[in-house]
Structure 1
Amino acid sequence: MTSYAVVPFVTWLVAGSLKFFVNSIRARRLAFGLIGYGGLPSNHSAIVTSMAALIAFREGVNTPAFGVAVTLAFIVLLDANSLRRQVGKHAAAINRINAANGIDSGLRERMGHTRVEILAGIAVGVCVAYMFR
């Protein structure tokens, strides 16, 4: 039986590889410079979903562990869509203000995820958990 610690790690590898592949296609070059926060699929969403789904597959949904995993997943998903996107908007505004004043702040503007990116992360997490059930 695979350890519960292995599935999130494998999910991170799968989601990160998919994100690199998608970013490379969009950029029409190897996208090493585009690795980081944001993009499709959401790594964070994939990782927390993989654990919640694995617990659901192995132990069922009427367990305390599943409740904790779902709660954590909701917090991460909300953060990915709202808080981090707002941080990215603030970074963009600060970069514009600094550029107008001749300052290169270089703050990362792509921080959060769209709903599609989050849904793709959820799909990756469920698929990887299903493979390890």
Structure 2
Amino acid sequence: MAMDEMGGSTPETTTRAAAATTSYVSSSIFSNYPLLSALLAFALAQSFKLILSWYKERRWDLKQLVGSGGMPSSHSATVVALTVAVGLQEGFGGSLFAMALILACVVMYDATGVRLHAGRQAEVLNQIVCELPSEHPLAESRPLRELLGHTHTQVVAGALLGLITATIIHLITGSTIRA
């Protein structure tokens, strides 16, 4: 709360302080180049999944907008866009870039490793459940999600999308590298 000369707050000073805080918060979020790059790359990847799904199946599958798995990897697009944007804004020699790079590597490794194999296991388990006799207690269980991970091609496509997205936003906004 803002104070006047006597140590008390006035409606004017309180209103100005609140407006300044609100302005700072909104401008810092909407001018956060790495955040915007990551969010845009995610949205583009999910949109491409929807379009590719329509192209292959000739029907709109709106689940593609929020689902994981598929081409391109939205996880890879997001973390690579974040990493590139941090590197372009803060410099590629800093600890912030190092953290973003390690995060990106872990996410992409996980997408092609653990999550891909978990999806393949779900596929096998769903097949087994389908072959159970109807009186078995698990025969009526909901199928497990099978599309969890990504192939290497999907991860590379997502990474390229993230790289391109962050670079184009950098060129459009004219963001500068801080040394």
Show the counterpart of 2:166: 129
How far the C-alpha of 1:86 sits from its partner, in A, is 1.0
How far the C-alpha of 1:90 sits from its partner, in A, is 1.3
Deviates more, 1:102-111 or 1:75-84: 102-111
SS of corresponding position for 1:61: coil
Larger radius of gyration: 2
Residue 27 (1) aligns with residue 57 (2): yes
Show the counterpart of 1:117: 154
Provide structure 1 residue ranges, at least 5 long, that are not aligned to the other structure. none
Residue 44 (1) aligns with residue 81 (2): no
> Normalising by the residue count of structure 2, what TM-score does the alignment of the two structures yield?
0.70
How far the C-alpha of 1:33 sits from its partner, in A, is 4.4
More helix by share: 1
> Normalising by the residue count of structure 1, what TM-score does the alignment of the two structures yield?
0.92
**Greater relative contact order structure (CA < 8 Å, 6+ sep):** 1
Q: Deviations over 1:40-67 (max 9, x none)?
A: 1100000000011111222221111110
**Inter-partner Cα distance in structure 1 for 2:64 and 2:38:** 22
Provide structure 2 residue ranges, at least 5 long, that are not aligned to the other structure. 1-29, 171-179
For the 8 Å contact 1:47–1:125, the answer to whether it is kept is yes
